[in-house]
Structure 1
Amino acid sequence: MRSILGAGRSHPQSQCSRIGLHMMPIHLTERLGRWSSGRGPLYVLLAARLRQLIDDGELPPGALLPPDRVLASALAVGRSTVVAAYDLLHGEGRIVRRQGSGTRVSGSPSTAAPDTTGAPVFLHLLEPSDDVIALACAAPDSPPPELVEAYERVLPELAATTGDIGYHPGGHIALRQAIAERYAQRGVPTEPDQVLVTTGGQQALSLLARAFVRPGDQVLVEAPTYPGALEAFREEAAVLRALPPGLGGFEAAARDHRPSLAYVIPTFQNPTGAVLPPLSCRRLAEAAGDAAVPLIEDEVLAELGFPGEETPPPLAAYADTVITVGSLSKIVWAGLRVGWVRAPAPVIARLARLRAVHDLGGNIPAQLAAADLLPRLEPLLRRWAAQRQACHDHLRAELTRQLPDWEVPPVQGGQTLWVRLPRGDGDSFAQTALRHGVAVLPGGGLDAAGGSEEYVRIHFLHTPDDLSQAVRRLARAWHAYRPPAERTTSRAVLAM
């Protein structure tokens, strides 16, 4: 890990080159650079730069940050600016503040490597490991035959393509048309110019955050929720306002905080698996329209109901101003990086301009295969639903048998279980579980309100044999687990 003191300099060890001593303000200000040059409140800009230093490893776990007054003096700002920035980072779980112990970066040197907390997003949980059963990153782990057949069918079309350089920032028209037709079949008339194709749902969320959020803007989110969305909003230095699942209390929050954006997963909510009733969906969509708050509906999991569960209509069926995010990565294969945004045409045009700045357009062969596959999805969805329900039931039965003290509510679809531990916290238990060869996702990193620390999220997408083996490892980890004297508050690595 790089030194926080700067390359090429020699400093006495007593001046903070080892963890546990104060980060000297002069050295931290050097690292901060031109932190105040952006747009937005100073405390948000300061928090954004400190967040980047933490995520990049420049401020390692356990590093002791300067006291409020000392850093404020070094930066020539009011103490309230530093206090507000520290409070924002504390709410995200990136730093820990304790009276008498100062302000530290979350985590500790003794647990920082190998690390499952406080690291840059999307890294170690996305790479397979032969000796670890991954129950954290939820997505199909192999392409289905239907996808292979779709590629085979579009190869002649691809071979015959001429006069097309392949740059389509909005997405290939064939796929945009197929997505529009699928929404029309679900009761939401849609034109191709209301659809933007993205490289998965995560890029869709990142583009929307970039388009709608400025530093210091308020964003309403569920607590807990999908951590990838939290990271996308935090990258734009948003101030997150947490509401219960389903965005309960939306009207009051919209009135009091004047948010620039709201985000909800109404169907098979990630991570709880909850489904928002139709009447609540209507009220939320209409309330967002009345308050002129752009509402993002994450529909990535909406078609993952178990057999007999009908897919509810999108929130856009109740208010056409709703912005809908979808993806094939969860219902077909994670390696098929095809997602989309359905929104009013002016919003789509704005997102296409932003997208063109980054990559000019997505993978055209993948989009052609997706366009071919979309009208043929139903048999795959039915087969996949039965398999997931069988795995869900098997995992719950194994957990009940071997870990009867755990609270494991059933779900009616989706991919994950939201498990409450009877003692300790998800962060410290996840580290113990990893040492026993199984990866779970701590709940604290999914909760912008700083709660859910007693939860872990686990998925049920493995084979029954692998799930049984995973539970045996979890049981051994639980018997070996000793909760820390003080609850760990470090931020969980992001998982999809």
Structure 2
Amino acid sequence: MSAATPTASRTASPTVLRQLSPAATARLLGDWHAGGPAYVALADALRAAVLSGKLAPHTRLPSERELAAILRVSRTTTSGAYARLRELGFAVSRVGSGTVTTLPQRSVGPVPGRPAGGDAPVAGETLRGAVRTVGTSGIEQMDLWQATPPAPPELHEAFTRALEELPAYLDSGGYEPYGLAPLREAVAARYRERGVPTTADEILVTTGAQQAIALLAHTHLRPGDHAVVESPTYFHAMEAMRNAGGRVVGVPAGPLDVDMLASTVRRARPRLVYLVPDYQNPTGSVLSADERAAVREIADRYGVTVVGDETLVELGLSDDKTPPPFAGDGTSPHVVSVGSASKSFWGGLRVGWVRAHPQVIAQLARARQSADIATAVLEQLAVTELLGRRAEVMVGRRRMLRERRDLLVGRLRVALPWDVPTPPGGLFCWVDLGLPVAQAFAAAAASEGALVAAGPLFTPDNTGAASHVRLTYTRSPAELSDAVPRLVRAWGRVAGRQRSASSRT
């Protein structure tokens, strides 16, 4: 079958939900050329963007002519790239509709957690369930993007106990806007255990930490307000702030430059500051006790709300010590903490929480009514059980993650000329490639069947950290071992192109 009449092109025209401008496409791709034929490299870069979720299905791409002009390549290159996307099932072209991104039809099942025919995934959402057999030669994709470990063995028993507790709640309407009282008390008790005096009325249960971050963004930011984040940082947090109309400003991270943070807050007068103090996403750095105190002083001095995302706080892998609480003694009205069961226990537990002044808690509880009213009761009961067994559960969790971290770091150091630090905790390695080719490498890795996150994704302007990639070590040892040769092959393509370019200068 010729490229002009691929099977994918005979499918029904997809619904166009959005359109990507030529300039936006160029920003999305960055330094996309990973070596080899230009049309193949361009197709791989676009395909990697779809696989990672940065480029959603049902998006109309620029015309071949427009894309060629903005990328400064020939029309033959863009035409060949689009043809390759159609052959692989990642695009459909129709007269009047242009070229529209799609997900391949030869999948092994629906995307996990998304109804059939549903809207496109948000940036960064993993599509493993839909792409297991759509690599260059039908190879399975090794996912080093999604930072979620498998469930602990204690999870099943926690749900069994939760079902036993459930009858006590069946006579009620099932809506608890602030969260179930036992869970709020269990979360408050964990803060007290860490040295932060906390009562249940300072806790709001949310449907995951992401909802907590989005609620904080929408209640604190007005269109045009500044929001300060670390750069690099968690990309979904930046999305939430932009969705609320905020203008995101970055300060250097890994470690955080506290003096720069103070200067930025003084000059930009932000209404919100978002930090990840524990095993920072993606750098893995940890704020010291003195740095945390300095951040709290900045919050109080300028009256700005500072959010500490503590979703990774329980995942210390170098020792059994938990970092000092971000909230300090808990008395600052401007310091808010966010937590979650997703990273400590399981991503399928969509249960998070906010610790803040009771007035802030009440404001957030009112704001969440337009979203989901309340978090599911059974999941809250299961998390209450898991928090009660936290010390026991986390021993096994940390052991598993430590073994997988050490396996990936060790094999990468042997196989590749990168700077691969050993993160003290968390779920990912922040790898320095030594060359500003992160986006090209991510594209090449996707074509080899490995999904990685390029550094620019984690920066406010999507241009920094061009020499870094984030690799998660939450997959099984067999998957991690299988992924390394794929990364080696991808690096060979990218490094080979760099050597060729250097020899011509």
Q: Tell whether the structures are fold-level matches, with TM greater than 0.5.
A: yes
Letter paired with 2:229? V
- Compared with structure 1, are the counterparts of its residues 352 and 397 closer, same or farther at alpha carbon in structure 2 (3 Å cutoff)? same
Equivalent of 2:197 in 171, 184, 189? 189
Partner of 2:389, secondary structure, is helix
* Aligned counterpart in structure 2 of residue 426 of structure 1, from 438, 446, 449: 438
Q: Name 1:313's counterpart in structure 2.
A: 324
In structure 1, what is the equivalent of residue 492 of structure 2?
479
CA distance in structure 2 between the aligned counterparts of 1:408 and 1:137, rounded to whole angstroms: 19
C-alpha contact 1:247 1:264 (8 A) present in aligned 2 = no
- Within the candidate set 333, 352, 355, 2:368 is matched to 355
**CA pair 172-62 structure 1, distance change in 2 beyond 3 A:** farther
Contact 2:207 2:350 in 1 (8 A): yes
For 1:184-333, what aligned pairs fall within 5 Å after superposition? 184-245=192-253, 246=256, 248=258, 249-306=260-317, 308-318=319-329, 319-321=331-333, 322-333=335-346
Q: Answer whether contact 1:19 1:109 (CA < 8 A) is retained.
A: no
Match of 1:139 in 2: 148
Aligned residue among 415, 426, 430 for 1:414: 426
User: Does structure 1 conserve the Cα–Cα contact (< 8 Å) formed by 2:125 and 2:146?
Assistant: no
Letter in 2 for 1:175: L
- 1:384 to 2:402 alignment: no
Corresponding residue SS for 1:242: strand
| Alpha-carbon distance in 2 for matches of 1:159, 1:173 | 15
Q: 1:174 aligns with which of 182, 198, 213?
A: 182
Residue equivalent to 1:442: 454
Provide Cα deviations, 1:185-206, integer angstroms capped at 9, x if missing partner.
1111111111111111111111
Does the aligned pair in 1 maintain the 2:229–2:251 contact within 8 Å?
yes
Deviation at residue 59 of structure 1 after TM alignment: 5.8
Q: Say if 1:429 and 1:483, in contact at 8 Å, map to a contact too.
A: no
Q: Which amino acid aligns with 2:338?
A: V
Contact kept? 2:277, 2:309, Cα under 8 Å: yes
Aligned 8 A contact 2:420 2:429 in 1: yes
Q: CA 1:155–1:424 in 2, change beyond 3 Å: closer, same or farther?
A: same
Q: Secondary structure at the residue paired with 1:317? A: coil
TM-score, normalised to structure 2, is 0.73
Q: CA deviation at 1:372?
A: 1.7
Distance change (3 Å), C-alpha of 1:62 and 1:55: farther
Aligned partners of 2:185, 2:17: CA distance in 1, in Å? 51
2:233–2:281: 8 Å Cα contact kept in structure 1? yes
User: Residues 315, 420 of structure 1: CA spacing in aligned structure 2 closer, same or farther, 3 A cutoff?
Assistant: same
- SS of corresponding position for 2:471: strand
Q: Structure 1 residues 62 and 349, CA, compared in 2 at 3 Å: closer, same or farther?
A: farther
**TM-superposed deviation, 1:440:** 0.6
1:64-213 pair list within 5 angstroms: 113=90, 120-125=122-127, 127=129, 129-130=131-132, 131-141=140-150, 143-213=151-221
Percent sequence identity is 36
Are the structure 2 counterparts of residues 61 and 139 from structure 1 closer, same or farther at C-alpha, using a change threshold of 3 Å?
A: farther
Normalization by structure 1: what TM-score?
0.75
CA 109–204 in structure 1, closer or farther in 2 if over 3 Å, else same: farther
2:236 aligned partner, one-letter code? G
Corresponding position of 2:474: 461
Q: CA deviation at 1:109?
A: 5.5
Shift in Å at residue 343 of structure 1?
0.6
Of 332, 341, 347, the match for 2:354: 341
Contact 2:18 2:60 in 1 (8 A): no
Quick one: distance in 1 between partners of 2:165 and 2:237?
A: 36
Counterpart contact for 1:424–1:484, Cα < 8 Å: no
For the 8 Å contact 1:154–1:368, the answer to whether it is kept is: yes
Change (3 A) 1:383 1:5: closer
TM-aligned CA distance change 1:61 to 1:229, over 3 Å: farther
Q: Deviations over 1:185-235 (max 9, x none)?
A: 111111111111111111111111111111111001000001111111111
Report if the CA contact (8 A) 2:204-2:361 is conserved: yes
Contact 2:18–2:58 (Cα < 8 Å) also in 1: no
Which ranges of structure 1 fall in alignment gaps of 5 or more residues? 7-17, 22-53, 66-95, 102-107, 486-496
Gapped runs of 5+ residues in structure 2?
1-13, 24-54, 75-80, 92-100, 103-119, 133-139, 499-505
CA distance in 1, matches of 2:302, 2:203: 24
Write the distance in 1 (CA, Å) between the matches of 2:155 and 2:452: 29
Structure 1 position 274, deviation (Å): 0.6
Structure 1: which amino acid aligns with 2:415?
Answer: Q
What amino acid sits opposite 1:315 in the alignment? F
3-state DSSP of counterpart to 2:169 = coil
Separation (CA, whole Å) in 1 of partners of 2:58 and 2:130: 23
Structure 2 counterpart of 1:134, which letter? D
Residue 38 of structure 2 corresponds to which residue in structure 1?
none
Aligned residues: 405
